[in-house]
A and B are shown apart, each in its own frame.
Chain A
């Protein structure tokens, strides 16, 4: 960790000094113990502020979109960030040459309050960045995919095992707790629409009231819009101030699409290949 932190600081200073990038996005210490927050530096002198420890919970990928206007951005990428960057390139939000990727192998992060591994890191399938310009530190080994799939889809299977009434009650509770702050949308590297459907007031898709109907509408349509592109960074569930299990909705799509159309994992390359954006004439048929 310390070695990685030092190499990030060193490389960030060099990149800023040489003018190769105008800005570096990393992490720094937050206000409280074991808390970090994203850091944006423009001067090589500030490189010492960079921190990398086991509490770097923020996934930085989405920040690049706002920051790239000023020039090339250097950004630290772990597995989750790298897949988000790939996804944004595939979605035409970003060009590969607009970012300089400092790859960091990551063993998983911890929750600040409990000190235990983060939920999103327990189900991580790619601990090493899938795309980078240089790798700082030695690669770590990923958990075997069968084992991780058991953990990834354990909750989905538990919910599918419930009766319909139980599932309805379970999700009604989830949707009732939603305060529609749209934090899940803001942090998502896949939610990149300039104007989101919830902001189209005149079209009136999304009512402004906070009730079960509107919350269900928001959550189901959000997950429909991102379901076939989700890179499973788990930021939506981490950012949710109400602690809603949003990945249980995302993963349902991921698994269904994988079972029905062999979708596979997203964000592993920067080619555009959405499962719901293509079709095969011999797709499985159930509407006859």
Chain B
């Protein structure tokens, strides 16, 4: 909790070091349990990471990754079971092919490779979860904030999400 407060305080004064926001997609059956185990073992890792539980790494649509980056996340980490251990038998094999190619595409169009990473972390690998998260946060902190659209960022306050307004339920906007 104190880390969050420190981050907010730093942001308001604008004098402290940059704290990246990392979104981690964690598969329910392996990585999420691994993260849980890290907590049970009282391991400490940077509070910059937001863990989002998904049923399977195969559930992670590349649209999620781009949307996250567009909406102000500085780096994305996708974690799943080791190949062969998928609860749904084959989800992570599909994810592997898809994300390998998508990662190359993002780098081809100019994204730093550190901003989008994929790791297989099993339910018992609490230490690997901690190490991975720590290294991703450190790498992205080095890179600085992600600015997907320099012109747009200057135009509007970055805290306002004007790029994608949410439609009200029950009617067209």
Contact surface of A with B, Cβ cutoff 8 Å? 159-160, 164-165, 167-172, 197, 201-202, 204-205, 207, 209, 211-214, 216-217, 220-221, 223-224, 227-228, 249, 252-253, 256-257, 260-261, 275-277, 279-281, 283-288
Contacts and interface: CB of A to CB of B under 8 A. Distances in A.
B160 interface: no
Given A169-B110, A279-B96, A212 B164 contact: no
Contacts of B106: 220
Nearest to B162: A209
A257 B93 CA distance: 15
Interface residues of B, number: 39
Contacts of A277: 94
Contacts of B167: 201-202, 204
Contacts of A224: 62, 102, 105
Contact of B163 (A172, A213, A228): A213
B100 interface: yes
Contacts of B62: 220-221, 224
Contacts of A207: 163-165
Contacts of B93: 279-281, 283
A170 B108 CA distance: 10
A205 B110 CA distance: 22
Interface in B137-173: 148-149, 151-152, 163-167, 172
A197 B63 contact: yes
B110 A220 contact: no
B32 to A, nearest CB: 17
Contacts of A279: 90, 93-94, 96-97
5 contacts: A171-B110, A204-B166, A217-B67, A224-B62, A227-B105
Nearest to B110: A168
Contact of A227 (B67, B70, B94, B101): B101
Interface of B: 62-63, 66-67, 70, 83-84, 90, 93-94, 96-102, 104-112, 118-120, 148-149, 151-152, 163-167, 172
Contacts of A211: 149, 151-152, 163
Contacts of B83: 281, 283, 285
Contacts of A164: 107, 110, 112
A64 to B, nearest CB: 29
A205 B63 contact: yes
Given A205-B63, A213-B148, A221-B66, A276 B104 contact: no
A252 B149 contact: no
Contacts of A212: 148-149, 151-152
A229 to B, nearest CB: 13
Contacts of A172: 110
Contacts of B109: 167-168, 171, 216, 220, 249
B148 A260 contact: no
Contacts of B66: 216-217, 220-221
B96 A165 contact: no
Contact of A160 (B67, B96, B108): B108
